[in-house]
Structure 1
Amino acid sequence: MTTLAHDFLPGNLVRARGREWVVQTESRRDWLRLRPLGGVEDETIALIPELELLPVEHATFEAPDPTRAGNHAAALLLRDALRLTLRAGAGPFRSFGNIAVEPRGYQLVPLLMALRLSTVRLLIADDVGIGKTIEAGLIARELMDRGEVTRLAVLCPPHLVEQWQSELEERFNLHAAALTAASAARVERELPHGVPLFDHHPVVVVSLDYIKSERHREQFIATAPECIIVDEAHTCASSGAGKQLRFELLQRLASNAHRHLILLTATPHSGDEAAFYNLLSLLDTRFAALQGRMSTSDPLRQELARHFVQRRRKDIAEWQAETEDGRGFARRMKTELTYQLSGDWGNFFDAVQDYCRELAETAERQGTAGGTGLMWYATLALLRCVASSPAAAVKALTTRLEGSETSEDLLSDERLHDGEADDLSSSDLEPPAQVQDASLLQALIASAQRLSGQKDDPKLTALIQHVGQLLRDGYHPVVFCRYIATAHYVAEHLKTAFPQATIDAITGELTPEERRERVEDMAEADSRTLVATDCLSEGINLQHLFTAVVHYDLAWNPTRHEQREGRVDRFGQQAPEVRCTMLYGQDNPIDGFVLKVILRKGEAIQKELGVMVPLPEDDARINQALIKAALMRREHRAQAPMRQESFDFGEPERLLAPLQAQWQDALEKAKANRTVFAQRRIRPDEVLPEWHKQQQALGTQADVQRFLQSACVRLGTPLEGTRRPHQMRLLPQHLPEALRLRLADEGLAAPQLIDWSELHRSHPLVGLFAQHLLEDALGAAQPLAARCAATLTNDVDVATTLYLLRLRHQLSYVRRREPFQMMAEETVALAVYGRTQPEWLVNDRATRLLECTPSGNLPPDAVQREIRQAIAFLAAHPEQLQTLAQQRANTLLADHQRVREAARDVGQYSVSPCLPVDVMGVYVLLPDDL
């Protein structure tokens, strides 16, 4: 190989193909990756120097041209554009410039834990709504931006695929391909010939259903990325044929000792001891031996604490109180609402119970095991649907239950219970309950149809009154129903009752994308109510649009209630209070049994521990207890309505006693684990200053708003106001053609509604505007953003010169005995205060001077004279820039070391400046009284 004339290091400025470029991190001696001087990462190219017609040479950045001077507003525009184009920022968190979320301090804890591990193996088991997706995304993005991984796969249940895909793109600027049973064939067809999937799509979100088949599973294992995130990881560790295949898949992925593995679950211990330790064994096979060893002093358990984090909301609230963070979670205000099975509706309920007793007695007389299972199923299905709504009752009564399935299969039908956690989309159909075409059955159907509506349905009446109060109080409720028919029934009657409100129903009939669109379509409504089945209790975040939850149908598992409420009461909820209401029949025996024996126990556990511990699985025992409760007679029907406390659930409770004991045991074990896994020893407040420092260096929300408004005015397309003060509208059709084409490439050709509370610096809209203005400043004859200016202002009392500098640093570190080298960039303001005895300033004061208020203009010849004098002065003092560059490199190293010490990070760091420093702007401020 020919020896090159130069070794170009990351951060060096070079000239090639007639323009200037910045050498990027991935470059080698014989192969350069280059980014245009005024461009961004998307415009990088690769070239081989020895094959170029003209040699690649070191370049220097030209000083500003005094003849192209602008005003001070244009100078500030350039400063903002420079900051907002930075992606490889100079702080210790490499990912900051590429994320569109401002994490709270506690969400940095898993990231700090990850930095401590040579190979990241983490189980993040934070409570529902704390932000596990953000915590995992931060880790993955940081590893990618450090160059430690180049490919990422997220494995999740099918209904979460689209959510993960959008979260990765919107929050972390990672464009992911979705691999599902429906999309995989299309994705593979679109691959260039001979290009492997993960080379073309370095980031993928994979449905766990897609890799069930042996062919897909083997192909994925053979080519899997270096970093894997597994959401709802508990569904991959418990028993069952499909779940066993999932666990084997994760075992094989984890067998690669260098693969990063991040497991996410809000319910790591669901009462299944073996499943819990299966999950831990994926972090390290040694951890399986911890089963039965509860001592917190056990060295192996202490080692596990480095890989396992579990925080309750209470933990977060306590930390925020200590640090005065001031941005805690919303207060979750819970209440209960009851209705009576009175009048015609009560008579109908009693008639259904009588019908079910007849079915049970018939089955007992016939004495066939299959017949008994069929009748049990019909009884539970019918009584659950009747308790839900007349519409669900009609659906169950008119759908024939065939006897071809075994009793075991029938009673494990998830339509009868609350649905599998990883397949809620297909389990909100009403279960069939028609087993014979008797005249009584027809009478029941007719009664259910006749009793539909607010007049005869006491449950619906109670809901309408409650929703009306919520709307009057300014809340936006989500009403959760168990079945599709109920959701449509409720939505229809709510629309009639509240014609001025926007009301919609979302069920498993819709695809995930259709559900998402229907939710987003409600954003403009001043008053909105969403009616949904549990297809929305996981998968789509509702905290930005809704502030209340109503459980119209009781779930039979307390975990489902927590999941429903957690869609609204979660990270990102802006309301100070979220209202949660549980609606139940005060004289309905099924509601009473579920409430007293299951939900109340779940609430007590959650209150004691701070997180939900799921009810242990035992469908046969639960079904038997529910049947006993369902057939209990409502005594004293003609007298005053009875309260749930007056039911005697003695026999059903005794049936569930073994499960209650298991549940209590799971609670005790979870409490013992918490003392090790709460991660109180890691203090995110120690590194929050570094995070906030990077935010200031790269641009805050206020900087983004000022920049975009100013840029649009200068580009001849002022933003238009809307009814909402925090929102404005951009009409891209009036922008310069080059910028319009770039926006169109990002799917931003149509008018854009801009929400200042959500628009982050890393949004493509901000980046493209900043890039366009920066390129314009470097090349246009009359630039919109000025590299030089001279201004009169009352904000200085002596002549002051500001130099806007772009510094690049070479950051080197070693992890797992492997060296990594990266480039970091930052924009710094250097001020020279006075001329007879000049004082050099590099601090917040220098930065604030850039935001001074001009008070007058100078003649053009005076402007050029002042700028030339300022450029000559800097050229006469080159040591100042060299000293500044070294000081900034030392500061950056100290920042990295502070974060490293807080995280007990592994690895060695060094930082060196890239010289010469780029002088991006020269601005002279003269006192107005001169």
Structure 2
Amino acid sequence: MSEHTFSPGSVVTARGREWIVLPQSDARLLHLRPLGGGDDAITALLPELEPIHSASFPPPQVMHSGTQAAGLLLRDALMLKLRAGAGPFRSFGNIAIEPRAYQLVPLMMALKLETIRLLIADDVGVGKTIEASLIVREMLDRAEINRFTVLCPPHLCEQWHEELKERFHLDATIVRSTTAARLERGLLQDRSIFTEHPFTIVSLDYIKNKTRRDAFLLHCPEFVIVDEAHTCARSGMGPHLRYGLLKDLAANEARHMVLLTATPHSGDEEAFYNLLSLLKPEFVDLRTIDNAAHPLRQALANHFVQRRRQDIGEWKEGNLFPDRLTSEATYKLTGEWNAIFHDVLEYARELVSRESEGTFKARMNWWAALALLRCISSSPQAAIRALNTRLDNTLSPDGKSPDEEDQRCHIEALNEKGALSVLDGTDDNLTLDDVEPGAAQEEDVAILKRLIERAKHLKSGNDPKLQTLKQIIKPVLDEGYNPVIFCRYIATAEYLADELNSAFPQREVIHVTGDLTPTERLERIEQLKESDKAPLLVATDCLSEGVNLQEQFNAVIHYDLSWNPTRHEQREGRVDRFGQKAKNVKALMYYGEENPVDGAVLQVILRKAESIRKALGVTVPMPEEGDRAEQALMKAVLLRSGNYIGSKGMDDLFAQDADLQALDAKWESAREKARRHRTLFAQNRLKPEDVLPEWEKAFAVLGTEEDVKRFVLNACERLGAPLKSLKQGGYQAPLPHFGEKHPGLRDRLDAAGLLALKHIDFYYPSALKAEFIHRTHPLVSHLADYLAELAMSGEDTKLIARAGALYTKEVETRTVIYLLRIRSRLILKRTLHECDLLAEEALAIAINADNQASVIPKDQALKLMQASVSKDMCKEAKERELAEELNQLEEKQPMFRSLAEARAKQLLADHRRTREAAQAKGSYEVKPQFPVDVLGVYVLIPDLKLF
């Protein structure tokens, strides 16, 4: 008859094998994980229907004896199999990355808050996504939350989905206009997407609508991450709706919220304090407090973390970020292309001078002229499409121009469309529209046709911008750089890709534009890994935000200057970020020497932004009136002839234009505010000495990248498929060779789709085209499971062994190493519920000749387990030494029990220390599970020389 009460962590027997009872079990249904098996082998059994009995882990036998190397393989397999690892953090056994110590700062800050309200404002590329995901994974693994959502701009949904799934094993559902209807289909009336799908990634543009917002507020998960939070805090209709949503979410004092932005205080006072008010309403009062010692300032330091890249240097974790090498290159307009350019410029100037300013027709001419300037500066193909496309002039339904009384609203609509298609948008909403704007005017058909024909007959060999690019990019490629070339419009990207593919056949050249869906863009980039050629990517700004390109690319070329400096920083941030393997990344700004459009943008906008970034170490976006300043700048170009690339020309332009003077003054004011805010609000309270011990303790239990590497290398070699080191980094993995001696393992790898792995690496960032093998990678899991099962069965002790005895010169007294598995129940008590968690630890202890036991530090345990054999030990001696130890196992259980109790107390202290705020709602209790499992016994006999 079955026993119906089994506590989490207990070992039971059922169906002819041993299992561990998992915390989600109850008396009616047991959730079990097989001993030696992984999470993919978890099953649920009904005690009423089949026999389930208590069991103990079988001790090693003399017949299980093998070599020392076989024992080390078991030790590593057991360590890397741990998912619910003991230690200060619950989540580290369930993530596919080894976070850097500085990235633990937001996690440790969050855990010290009863309700997590955190603003993470680290610099671009430092790893805000990793930091936020660590927090949500930890809260899930501590059973403090069951659901979460990520609110982000729509184009970032796929990136968040990939990050959560690949690195944190969280498969979230994307909710936006294209998926919501399908997700809602079949739901009961009182149900919601957010109740049926516990993990979601939601488009801010989709959810901010009042109808959807109200439904979302009703069913919103208890944990919310907001990416690009600054876009939800500034003025304007879109940000206002988003801010209203966040304010309503924050009104629930129990809801956890983590806000992410690289520009929290870019000179916009109202936006900055709006963000702070989401953390705590009283933080709005900080606008009048400059005293750093004020209690409210001290309170904010618990909720706000901001680090620049140079701040990470104090952690002394090596060179985590590349050096950015910036340079500029120019081209000269020559020949027929020069003639066409200036004819288009003269036509544009004539166009804006036709009508009286303020009329609808004048505004149409203005946007047509700007479209021509933008496209003709980009490429012949972009110019042709603009000349061929009639400007969307928002005509009334009968095809006539709007009446005078309707002019204002039509002008506003026209301005909105023009700003998106011609300009680059505001920092709240940088446009991703890469379609060429229309510029054709009905009354100028003949002129436009002539310009189109001339552009069509212009051969690429006569395009000085393209030809000079080919010259300057060659040495970049020869140096081994893999660049991303950013341009403004689809036509230019297609044109460049075709030309560069012919010019550089040794490269895999592709282009990615807004013609592809976000998923298709990521797939196309991922497919580059399959080519034997080095990659060369041409892209529009559809890839300039939220897409990680650092694994394959290490250079950026701005083929078209952006008219917004934040866009330049975003482009370069795709490759210059955490995870970039190259020591240096290149950023090249490319422009026309005699192009007045490039000259004006370069001198007035881009150089100003760069000087501010160098002075402060962070980017300060243009003031919100930047689009107006851009138009003023282009107006000056159109209304004045001459070369504006020189500083003297720019000084004259500034002196004559009030709008540009106002822009400069407001930008200077924004710089000063950003500097002052940086001084007042930069958060560096947690220092390396506060965090590094926790980081080291966590990975001592679970294993580091070095442990993974050692295990996989040893396992593959002993299993008959040794890995081959490659010159370009990483290893060649002949995994199909497992089938010769271990067909069962090969079948497992085949079912998991792993036999196709050819190139692997054990460090992040991984070598180019190599798959990163982390401790939770399926390859590690399958190897560890298979080897642990072999060890338990005792079938192949030459491969992996639970016992051993040897002579060695590396110990002075007889030393016995015991591999133990300690399991503890972590009981989390809350007001409304009690939750059982399981904590496991694979531990090596040493017992010397005086029968004194001690936990062996990780490095010492590794040294002892790798102790070299000084001379052979006969079979009889081995059996005698092992039998002596194995016969005493029962006597040593009190010693093991005391050790387990001490480790449980340490586990309790770790959890209380890292989650101090939990005491406000409940408490932790840790109960060790007995008996302690003895996994391996290894006897080291000193080989002493006698004199």
TM-score normalised to structure 1 length: 0.90
Q: Does 1:559 align with 2:572?
A: no
Distance 1:809 1:28 in 2: 17
Alignment of 1:591 with 2:591, yes or no, is no
Matched, 1:673 2:671: no
Q: Does 1:843 align with 2:848?
A: no
Structure 1 match to 2:248: 252
- Residue from 139, 144, 150 that aligns with 1:148: 144
Classify the secondary structure of the residue corresponding to 2:888.
helix
Per-residue Cα deviation, 1:449-469 (whole angstroms, up to 9, x for no partner): 33442x433322332222112
| 1:440-498 alpha-carbon deviations (Å, 9 max, x no partner) | 32232233233442x43332233222211211222222111111111122222222332
Q: Deviations over 1:556-603 (max 9, x none)?
A: 111111101111111111222212111122222222222222222212
2-structure distance, mates of 1:508, 1:241: 25
Pair 1:310-2:300 in alignment: no
Aligned to 2:784: 770
Contact 1:22 1:35 (8 Å CA) reproduced: yes
In 1: Cα distance, 2:657 partner to 2:937 partner: 80
Q: Does residue 354 of the first structure (1) align with residue 354 of the second (2)?
A: no
In 2, the alpha carbon distance for the partners of 1:206 and 1:402 equals 31
Mapped pair 1:462 → 2:468: yes
Which position in structure 2 is the counterpart of 1:40?
Answer: 38
Aligned partners of 1:597 and 1:653 also within 8 Å: no
Find 2:773's aligned residue among 751, 759, 768.
759
Corresponding residue for residue 915 of structure 1: 930
CA 1:771–1:422 in 2, change beyond 3 Å: closer, same or farther?
farther
Aligned partner of residue 935 in structure 2, secondary structure: strand
- SS of the equivalent of 1:571 reads coil
**Which has the larger displacement, 695-704 or 707-716?**
707-716
Distance 1:486 1:304 in 2: 47
Which residue of 553, 567, 575 maps to 1:568?
A: 575
Compute the displacement of 1:878 (Å): 3.0
- Of 608, 616, 619, the residue aligned with 1:612 is 619
2:399 maps to none
Equivalent residue number for residue 401 of structure 1 = 391
Q: Alignment length, in residue pairs?
A: 912
In the alignment, structure 2 segments of 5+ residues that lack a partner are: 396-409, 764-771
The match for 2:524 among 509, 518, 522 is: 518
CA shift for structure 1 position 330: 1.4
SS in structure 2 at match of 1:877: helix
Task: Report the CA distance between 1:660 and its aligned residue.
Answer: 2.8
Matched, 1:129 2:135: no
User: CA shift at 1:129, angstroms?
Assistant: 0.7
Distance in 1, matches of 2:509 and 2:253, equals: 51
Matched ranges for 1:338-417 at <5 A? 338-364=330-356, 369-404=359-394, 406-413=410-417, 414-417=420-423
**8 Å contact from structure 1 (residues 229, 261) kept in 2:** yes
Alignment partners' CA distance in 2, 1:816 and 1:311 = 37
CA deviations over 1:523-560 (Å, ceiling 9, x no partner): 35564322111111112211122221111111111111
Q: Which range is displaced more, 294-303 or 128-137?
A: 294-303
SS of structure 2 residue aligned to 1:245: helix
Alpha-carbon shift at residue 380 of structure 1 (Å)? 0.8
Equivalent position to 1:478, from 461, 484, 487: 484
- Report if the CA contact (8 A) 2:307-2:682 is conserved: yes
Secondary structure of 2:822's aligned partner: strand
Shift of 1:95: 1.5
Q: 1:614 to 1:292 in 2, by over 3 A?
A: farther
* Partners of 2:926 and 2:687 in 1: CA distance: 26
- 1:71 corresponds in structure 2 to 67
Contact 2:394/2:413 (CA < 8 Å) preserved in 1? Answer: no
1:808 offset after TM fit, Å?
2.0
Q: CA deviation at 1:760?
A: 0.8
Return the letter of the residue paired with 2:124: V
Q: Does 1:529 align with 2:536?
A: yes
Alignment partner of 2:424 out of 413, 418, 428: 418
In the alignment, which residue of structure 2 is the partner of 1:335?
Answer: 327
After TM superposition, list the pairs within 5 Å mapping 1:268-283 onto structure 2: 268-283=264-279
Mapped partners of 1:292, 1:348: distance in 2: 57
The amino acid across from 1:308 in the alignment is F
Are 2:571 and 1:548 equivalent residues in the alignment? no
- 2:698 partner letter: Q
Query: Which of the residues 608, 624, 630 maps onto 2:637?
Result: 630
Which amino acid in structure 2 is aligned with residue 646 of structure 1? G
1:466-865 equivalences under 5 Å are: 466-523=472-529, 525=532, 527-618=534-625, 621-635=628-642, 643=646, 645-647=648-650, 648-650=652-654, 653-719=657-723, 724-732=728-736, 734-735=738-739, 739=745, 742-743=748-749, 746-748=752-754, 750-751=756-757, 753-757=759-763, 758-779=772-793, 781-782=795-796, 784-796=799-811, 798-811=813-826, 822-834=837-849, 837-844=850-857, 845-854=860-869, 858=873, 860-865=875-880
Residue ranges of structure 1 left out of the alignment (5+ in a row): none
Return the offset for 1:29. 7.2
Give the conservation status (yes or no) of the 8 Å contact 1:378–1:432: yes
| Change in CA separation of 1:279 and 1:370 when aligned onto 2, cut-off 3 Å | same
Task: State the Cα deviation string for residues 122-178 of structure 1 (Å, max 9, x = none).
Answer: 111111111100110111111111111122211212211111111112211222222
Q: Indicate conservation of the 8 Å contact 2:324/2:586, yes or no.
A: yes
Corresponding residue for residue 405 of structure 2: none
Shift of the 326–720 alpha-carbon distance from structure 1 to 2, 3 Å rule, reads closer
Residues 329, 734 of structure 1: CA spacing in aligned structure 2 closer, same or farther, 3 A cutoff?
Answer: closer
Contact kept, 8 Å, 1:412 with 1:619, in 2: the verdict is no
Please give the alpha-carbon distance, in whole angstroms, between the structure 1 residues aligned to 2:762 and 2:41: 28
Describe the shift of the 1:196–1:618 C-alpha distance in structure 2 as closer, same or farther (beyond 3 A).
closer
More moved, 645-654 vs 380-389: 645-654
* Cα shift at 1:670: 2.2
- Rounded to whole Å, the distance in 1 between the matches of 2:690 and 2:210 is 47
Report sequence identity in percent: 50
Return the letter of the residue paired with 1:447: R
CA distance in 2, matches of 1:780, 1:409: 77
* 1:707-757 alpha-carbon deviations (Å, 9 max, x no partner): 223333444544466674413234458555655565466554644542232
The alignment yields a C-alpha RMSD, in angstroms, of 3.4
TM-fit CA distance, 1:425: 8.0
Instruction: In structure 1, give the amino acid aligned to 2:659.
Output: L
SS at match of 2:462: coil
Question: Would the aligned equivalents of 2:600 and 2:645 in 1 still touch at CA under 8 Å?
Answer: no
Q: Is the 2:382–2:489 contact (alpha carbons within 8 Å) kept by the matching residues of 1?
A: yes
Q: For residues 187 and 70 of structure 2, what CA distance do their matches in structure 1 show?
A: 45
1:220 corresponds to 2:233: no
Contact 1:721 1:729 in 2 (8 A): no
Gap change, CA 1:19 and 1:498, over 3 Å in 2: closer
1:159 aligns with 2:159: no
Q: 1:816 to 1:634 in 2, by over 3 A?
A: farther
2:324 aligned counterpart, secondary structure:
strand
Single out whichever of 86-95 and 301-310 deviates more from structure 2: 301-310
1:11 lines up with 2:6 in the alignment: no
Amino acid at match of 2:570: Q
Taking a change above 3 Å as real, the CA distance of residues 118 and 814 of structure 1, as seen in their structure-2 partners, is farther
Native 8 Å contact 1:686 1:902 kept in 2: no
Superposed, 1:17-36 pairs within 5 Å as: 19-27=17-25, 33-36=31-34
Question: Does 2:211 align with 1:232?
Answer: no
Give the conservation status (yes or no) of the 8 Å contact 1:687–1:899. no
CA contact (8 A) 1:302 1:676 kept: no
